[in-house]
Amino acid sequence: DAHGELPLNFAKPNQPVTATVLGRTKLIDDDAPGDIEHVILKLPEGFHYVEGQSLSVIPPGVDAKSGRKHKPRLYSIASTRYGDVLDGNTISLCVRRAEYVDPVTGEKDPAKQGVCSNFLCDVRAGDEVSVAGPVGKTMLLPKDSNTDIIMIATGTGIAPFRGFMHRLFMENTLARHMFGGRAWLVLGVPVTGGLLYKEEFDCMQRNAGADQLRIDYAISREMTAKTGGKMYVQNVIAENGREVFDRLDNGAVIYFCGLKGMMPGILDSLEEVAASQGIVWSEKLAELKKNHQWHVEVY
């Protein structure tokens, strides 16, 4: 807010407030696996947030097992504090429809699908959504506008970084004019048709100063890593290991967001890069955490 304080818990999950759907659009091509939707909600008066925070969504109805209201689900916010409509009253989410496919029959089992993600992926303009929050103090942009940032995302983990990049490269605000660092995004998706927000990111690259925004896509089913296997985000890190460590040594802040299964491969990659440079990774990681250069939000 104007006093520089972080907005937290305008609404608690046990006393949610009502947001209204303004619109929803599918983000990926039909040939890409699954379904990922961009949902824009109008927030109640006074509900504010900043880039990198998360929103709780409480799906309607009751849990069949417990007979109680559904538990809240956390979603990383995909917009800046001004929202996609730029009026400061909306919030955007990037939601993957959680579907369960029976390994034997190959059929989708609706009884095991994600309650909240399916609700959000089917909403229509005008629908009401119970929300709470915002929460989150870790995935925030650095206070120093000259700090480099490195963003590693898989799938819908792109959400907070879309907010960061709109703030730094699209919106006509002081934050954009003051940004003197370099931003580097690595996004992992299975197929080209599954690239999220690519047109927006292309535009940001045109807006950015020379060398100010680097974007690498790891399209696993279409690209081959130097190891000969599929190209995942950890391969991009491995193949650019020196640059990653140079930027971290220079004070860069690194963020990771996506499914928790992404982290073991990434940590192995970083450990290998460190070893090749004579660095003890456990010590380096401890130092990065101590200096607030290491931020992880996985689910």
What is the rounded distance in angstroms from the CA atom of residue 146 to the CA atom of residue 291? 16
- Answer yes or no: are the C-beta atoms of 175 and 145 closer than 8 Å: yes
**φ and ψ of 153, to 5 deg:** -130, 145
What is the rounded distance in angstroms from the CA atom of residue 198 to the CA atom of residue 13? 33
What is the rounded distance in angstroms from the CA atom of residue 147 to the CA atom of residue 241? 19
User: What are the residues whose beta carbons fall under 8 Å from the beta carbon of 57, sequence distance 6 or more?
Assistant: 72, 73, 75, 93, 116, 120, 129, 130, 131
Tokens of 116: 């909240």
* CA angle (76 as vertex; 75, 78 as ends), nearest 5: 120
Tell me the CA distances in angstroms from 120 to 97, 199, 228, one per residue in order: 8, 23, 38
Active-site residue list: 75-76, 257, 297, 299
End-to-end, the C-alpha distance of the chain in Å comes to 28
Beta strands 36-42 and 17-26, pairing class: antiparallel
